[in-house]
């Protein structure tokens, strides 16, 4: 099983995001968390909970949601709901629609072998005003009970350009 993930680069991505997660968050680093999906399938009611430790800084950060798809993913879009709670208590809710295939059923996101990667900027210029944890919940809004073709979902906090 691990051999299959290593061939597609998912093991490397998972280990990289774990390393970034444990390195903390400051103005010069990127931090993130990645959830690989069992059997490359995202169950409809499996809400993903992310908690990123953040520190007060005078720098701004961008919050990015990313998804690893496989070529087995069969629908045009992947709708997700995102809830962001920052340490100071502010809550933001948004729906994100990942466009995966065009009208001709061709995958339109970058792929290598059988794995495709896409990311979406959730929040630009996030300024941390209070130390604590940035909590992010991501819910699969696809009406099917299971969504095959999703290898993993992650978030990362990166310094704003």
Could you write out the three-class secondary structure of the chain? Answer: CHHHHHHHCHHHHHHHHHHHHHCCCCCCCCEEEEEECHHHEEECCCCEEEEEEECCCCCCEEEEEEEEEECCCCCCEEEEEEEEECCCCCEEEEEEEEECECCCCCECCCEECCEEEEEEEEEEEECCCCCEEEEEEEEECCCCCEEECEEEEEEEEEECC
pLDDT value, residue 113: 86
pLDDT at position 28, please? 52
Confidence of residue 156 (pLDDT cuts 50, 70, 90): very high
Mean per-residue pLDDT of the chain: 83
* Residue range 74-83: mean pLDDT, rounded: 92
Q: Which pLDDT score is estimated for 12?
A: 42
Q: Which fold has domain 2-159?
A: Jelly Rolls (2.60.120)
Q: Is the pTM of this model over 0.85?
A: no
């Amino acid at each position: 099983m691990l051999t299959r993930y290593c061939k597609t680069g998912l093991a490397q991505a998972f280990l990289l995001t774990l390393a970034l997660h444990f390195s903390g968050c400051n103005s010069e680093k990127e931090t993130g968390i990645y959830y690989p999906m069992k059997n490359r399938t995202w169950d409809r009611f499996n809400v993903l909970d992310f908690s990123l430790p953040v520190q007060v800084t005078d720098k701004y950060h961008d919050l990015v949601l990313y998804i690893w798809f496989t070529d087995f993913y069969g629908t045009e879009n992947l709708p997700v709901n995102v809830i962001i709670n920052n340490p100071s208590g502010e809550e933001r809710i948004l729906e994100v629609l990942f466009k995966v295939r065009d009208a001709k059923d061709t995958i339109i996101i970058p792929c290598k072998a059988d794995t495709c990667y896409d990311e979406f900027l959730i929040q630009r210029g996030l300024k941390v005003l209070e130390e604590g944890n940035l909590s992010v919940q991501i819910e699969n809004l696809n009406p099917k009970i299971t969504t095959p073709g999703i290898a993993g979902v992650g978030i990362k906090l990166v310094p704003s350009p």
